[in-house]
A and B are shown apart, each in its own frame.
Chain A
Amino acid sequence: MGYLHGFAVTLRQLFLPRVTTDYRGGFDDSPKDVKRPKPERLHGRHVLNRYDDGMEKCIGCELCAGVCPADCIYVRGADNDPDDPVAPGERYGYVYEINYLRCIHCDLCVEACPTQAITESKLFEFSFTNRDDAIYTKDELLVDDDGRPRQMPWEDWREGDDALTSGWMRATSSSGDHRYVGEVAWSGELGYGVRDAEPADAGEESSDG
């Protein structure tokens, strides 16, 4: 008669608190619409970063496009005008497009980038309704003059989401080597300066050195 016990279990569940969040994807403004905190290194929509002085980090080297397994990045570089440079150095990204119908958010572009120009934000709710919207151009990807990601009308940004870019870049102990823990190996960002390391990595010696 183990069956009958099962009926008691399901009936009891009915009166227990719900384990899921009441997520509504921004459909209404109700306070019930809860988003759970996202992991530090979540791979979301990309942003193109700028240095503290407003210069673009992208140098148009196309390494991201080369490494992309989904072939969704299209980059064309151009020479900087020495009198009015867009990026430090000789070249800058003249065209930068990501096709989000193809992108698999593997973050290989972020790993490949020599200047940390491209990083991923935590935004994953951007359900566009036509193919043109799916292709993000450089204007849309590049952070604005305050260093914040640009927000498209179809994207569901919440309070504080825009501050969470480049989590992966700030994972300090590369390959788990504890000697690099706490070492800042990344450049500053417009609006935020040199960011701190990931909370989990900052200054904590790993026990299995």
Chain B
Amino acid sequence: MSGTLVLAADPMLAGDIGLVEVVLTLAKVVVAFAFLLVAVMLMIWFERKLLGGMHQRFGPTIAGPFGILQTLADGTKLFFKEDLVPDRSDRFVFKLAPYLSLIPAFLAFAIVPLGGDFNNGGQVEWWGRTTYLQVADPPIGILLFLAMSSVAVYGVMLAGWSSGSKYPLLGSVRASAQMVSYEAALGLAVASIVLVTGGLSTHDMVVAQAAEGYFGIVPRWNVIVTGLVPFIVFMIAGTAELNRPPFDLVEAEQELVGGFHTEYSSIRFALFFLAEFMNTITMSAVIVTLFFGGPAGPVLVSEVGGVGIAWAWGVVWFFLKLFVLLFCFVWMRATLPRFRYDQLMDLGWKALIPVALGWFLFLTALEVGRERGWNEAAVTIVSLLVFAGAALLLVRAVRSGRRARDREAARADEPSDPVEERA
């Protein structure tokens, strides 16, 4: 690494950049882009079909075999609908907003490793160039994902604000509050991963998880290494970040018509819809990368007819894991009822952030103890005691705060006695 600007840790881009490198990068971009679009199409169909099943319905059946082309039909219909821009809207921002939520969804996907044989470093060799099977591996790695999910808030917020209408505004106010709140918990969960990996690069994270596991069978996935808690926090915060049920207060149909996209129609509405499902896929892919070892997995057949296909197994494992996570997202949607707004805020600020922060400090203590050669058991016990003490204090603080609020409310409710007041 010289003093020049490092665009990516990808070995292909380390040397001179010629035509082959540019073509390879472009090809990766196009493939990832196409994959995302097709995946969104299938995801919407899959979600509707699965939700239908869980409601004992059929779901889409008519368009194509098993209704698989339903999304295509819906999309085509949306393209030909009239594109309305409300009179009282801020026209420029109104038109900008869908792209602000769509483009981050694309960009965040760029850092996800899609394949490669991670038993041997996860590199593939094409046309004499060694490269990674991911669009980009920037040194800031996972921070790009956090940055993009922050930018996506603007899409939702500006959409509601620029509509010049009340329900979208309410929806977008909820959205920005919710997404900002859960961003913190999300970041703290990621911090735990960064701590155990020792780097931000997503490629390095997968390499670290592909290492020899425990007892020979349990993989060294971060979900186990970090002790499950960051994963649960990330899963919940991620669902909230996606505005998916049970955290879909942003577009709560019963309360807010359609939430932030009430005033959107035609292609602009389709873009929001696309962004929403693309975010779901991206979030699942990031969870797979962070917690479930991404494309890391055993290579069952290393070559067919003299052509090495070890890298393809990475793709297979990646998609299997992705599929399981997407199933879980739909499953959660079918099962959990929507949160009330104050419950949502309570969960974010009073439960997830303290737990994520506490667990992060606990992991840090373990790490430091390991470095200094302290007794691991003692570190664990002391840490857990501190953890429990802090939790107790927090619970007491929350409870006394609630009591004070209740007293205040009770006092306000009491009818005032005019005689007493005069005295």
Contact = CB atoms under 8 A, between A and B. Distances in A.
Nearest to B334: A10
Interface stretch (B53-61, B347-355, B363-371, B382-390): B53-61
Given A6-B335, A6-B336, A7-B331, A13 B58 contact: no
Nearest to A8: B335
A82 interface: no
B17 interface: no
A3 B54 contact: no
A17 interface: yes
A4 B21 CA distance: 50
A13 B55 contact: yes
Contact of B335 (A7, A20, A28): A7
Contacts of B61: 22, 24, 32
B334 A20 contact: no
Contact of B62 (A9, A16, A24): A24
Interface of B: 50, 53-58, 61-62, 331, 334-336
A11 interface: yes
Given A13-B53, A27-B62, A32-B61, 7 more contacts: A7-B331, A10-B334, A11-B54, A14-B53, A19-B56, A20-B58, A22-B58
Interface string A19-36: 110101001100010000
Contact of A18 (B56, B62, B334, B336): B56
The 10 lowest CB-CB distance pairs between A and B, nearest first, are A14-B53, A10-B54, A10-B335, A10-B334, A6-B335, A19-B56, A13-B54, A20-B57, A7-B335, A18-B56
A177 B405 CA distance: 64
Interface of A: 3, 6-7, 9-11, 13-14, 16-20, 22, 24, 27-28, 32
A10 B58 contact: no
A16 B56 contact: yes
Contacts of B335: 3, 6-7, 9-10
Nearest to B50: A14
Contacts of A17: 56
A19 B331 contact: no
A21 to B, nearest CB: 9
* Majority SS at the chain A contact face: loop
A3 B61 CA distance: 31
Contacts of A28: 62
A20 B56 contact: yes
26 contacts: A3-B335, A6-B335, A7-B331, A7-B335, A9-B335, A10-B54, A10-B334, A10-B335, A11-B54, A13-B53, A13-B54, A13-B55, A13-B56, A14-B50, A14-B54, A17-B56, A18-B56, A18-B58, A19-B56, A20-B56, A20-B57, A22-B61, A24-B62, A27-B62, A28-B62, A32-B61
Contacts of B62: 24, 27-28
Contacts of B56: 13, 16-20
B55 A11 contact: no
Contacts of B53: 13-14
Contacts of A22: 58, 61
A10 B334 CA distance: 7
A7 B333 CA distance: 10
Nearest to A32: B61
Nearest to A19: B56
A75 to B, nearest CB: 38
B111 to A, nearest CB: 31
A171 to B, nearest CB: 34
Nearest to A21: B58
B390 to A, nearest CB: 24
